Chain A
Amino acid sequence: MNAQFKKGALELCVLSQLTDKDQYGYELTEAISEQMTVATGTLYLILRRLKEEDYVDTYLVESLEGPARKYYRLTEKGRNYQNELKDEWLDFVKRIAVLI
């Protein structure tokens, strides 16, 4: 898959994981890697970038099982962005479907 294309798709996947509930890193990356082959390490880089651009923010939650978990939460800006990306994606898929 084209790297740029993959990156955009992964970004949408990451954002979409957070629309219903906040998630911590391991949980989120596991959910995605269950569905597709991806180096989960790179998902952390995507999360970091989304945070830098204020699409998500993070907060820590103490855990009895181990170190504090860093939770990711979609911001208002991130929610709008996710909507836009999703619409674009669905539109794109529809056009591809016509062609193939």
Chain B
Amino acid sequence: MIKQEYMDALEKALEPYDDDLRQEIMNDFEEHFVYGLKSGHTEEEIINSLGSVEEVIRNIDEPIKSKPEPKAQELIRTASVRNVLIKADNVGVDIDLHRSADHHVHYDYVPANSYFNNKQSNIRLIKTIEEGDTLIVSLEKDFQNDKRSGFFLDGLLNVEIPADLETVSIIGKQGDIDITDLIVGSLSVNTMSGDIDIVEVAAQKINVNSTNGDIKISESTGDINCRSINGDTDLDNCRAAVVSIANTNGDIDADVYAEVLTAKTTNGDIDLDIKGAMKQLLVETVSGDIAVLLQNALTFNGRVESLRGDVDIRVDYPCTVRRNCYLFSDGQTGIDVKSLNGDIEIEQRGCDSRSAEEDFHWEQKASSQTKDGIDDAIQILEALKKFNHSDDLKELNRLKSVMDEIKADLQKKTR
């Protein structure tokens, strides 16, 4: 072996180490060769004296420089892979997913130490397999060595994916899921606990399912379908043809451009700010309040109704009112907003600046509502009179005459 071969072999063997270390060793050995040759030794003798490359490498140990952290592993994706599935459904890790700078899928798992018992994470197996055109990246628990309770979070899985995939799916269990800057045909996220935060995703479809965590989607485009049992759902500045949100206990807060929007929750409140010309709006709660601000919808068709709550309608389009049910017809935006116990507030943007003529129309409408209310009251009073409790009769008669006066007054006004 001559000097050049030796130095080439050494350089290659030093590759996994820190650049600084590699450079210094190479310089030291180069200098050693020069002065060894000057002293009259042959290259062969100097190599024998230095020791084999293996021996040198073997002596690089901790007190010197340890190997750098392994870089994110790279999967050279075959052209046939169209889908990526990230599977972490029996482990509790946080997942970060974002766009890779090249055409490959990268992943990197960073285990966490427990704060409490100082034991290393028991997740050690990361597996990647290709099934047809799907690449599966999965984390698995090493159950045999699992001595810890399931409460602990077990680190962070970083995944980077290229921009031209058809579907990306995440199946998680515990831990937060952060997704940033993706372009994909369809994105789907399923998890039990932990918050889901999706930012700047461009997709045709975004499906999110969570049991306990909050869902937040912002600055994204694509049809959105969210389901959460206990978490809140927050859509901020998203654009979609179809948005569908169904919660059980969480609130829904959406600031979107959408053509068709469905928002349902049992106990949460719903707060919507909708831009764009809507085709269909369907909102439903059992106990929560509903507030809808319509930025561009002009004419309506359908109904707004709360069985036990108050309804406040501020739109510039005629409707017929029966108690707490407001009926619209012949308009372009289909509207179906209902609540059992909650209050409802529907506001059309610009509606506050109405003309005097419109004001008159609104006053008329308000009066007719009041009149309906008074008619009801009179009927109740009449009914009560039939029970004929002499003590209360006088008071009932007085109330009825007050009502009659108000009614006559209103009729005069609206005529």
Task: Take A41-B56, A42-B55, A48-B64 as given contacts and tell me if A26 and B25 are in contact as well, using a CB distance cutoff of 8 Å.
Answer: no
A67, B31: Cβ atoms closer than 8 Å: yes
Among A26, A65, A70, max chain B CB count under 10 A is at A26
B50, A45: Cβ atoms closer than 8 Å: no
* A2-20 interface code vs B (CB 8 A; 1 in, 0 out): 0000000000000000000
* B26-37 interface code vs A (CB 8 A; 1 in, 0 out): 011111101110
On chain B, the residues within 8 Å of A65 by CB distance are 34-35, 38
**Chain A residues touching B, range:** 20 to 34
A41, B50: Cβ atoms closer than 8 Å: yes
- The one of B27, B38, B50, B64 in contact with A39, judged by C-beta atoms closer than 8 angstroms, is B50
A75 within 8 A of B: no
Scan residues 48-97 of chain B and give those whose CB is less than 8 A from a CB of chain A.
Answer: 49-52, 55-56, 59-60, 63-64
A79 within 8 A of B: no
Which secondary structure dominates chain A's binding surface?
helix
B31, A39: Cβ atoms closer than 8 Å: no
Nearest residue in A to B47 (C-beta to C-beta)? A41
On chain B, the residues within 8 Å of A80 by CB distance are none
Distance in angstroms from A25 CB to nearest chain B CB is: 6
- The one of B21, B34, B51, B64 in contact with A40, judged by C-beta atoms closer than 8 angstroms, is B51
Among A27, A40, A53, max chain B CB count under 10 A is at A40
A44 within 8 A of B: yes
B49, A26: Cβ atoms closer than 8 Å: no
Scan residues 366-381 of chain B and give those whose CB is less than 8 A from a CB of chain A.
Answer: none
A41, B29: Cβ atoms closer than 8 Å: yes
Q: Complex: how many Å from CA A51 to CA B52?
A: 23
Q: How many residues of B contact A (CB 8 A)?
A: 24
Among B27, B29, B30, B49, max chain A CB count under 10 A is at B49
B29, A49: Cβ atoms closer than 8 Å: no
Among A45, A65, A66, max chain B CB count under 10 A is at A45
On chain A, the residues within 8 Å of B55 by CB distance are 39, 41-42
B395 within 8 A of A: no
- The one of B28, B36, B51, B64 in contact with A70, judged by C-beta atoms closer than 8 angstroms, is B28
Binding site for A on B (CB under 8 A): 21, 24-25, 27-32, 34-36, 38-39, 49-52, 55-56, 59-60, 63-64
A sample of 9 more A-B contacts (CB under 8 A), given A41-B56, A42-B51, A42-B56, is A25-B28, A25-B32, A26-B32, A39-B49, A40-B50, A41-B51, A52-B64, A66-B34, A67-B30
Binding site for B on A (CB under 8 A): 24-27, 29-30, 33, 39-42, 44-45, 47-49, 52-53, 65-67, 69-70
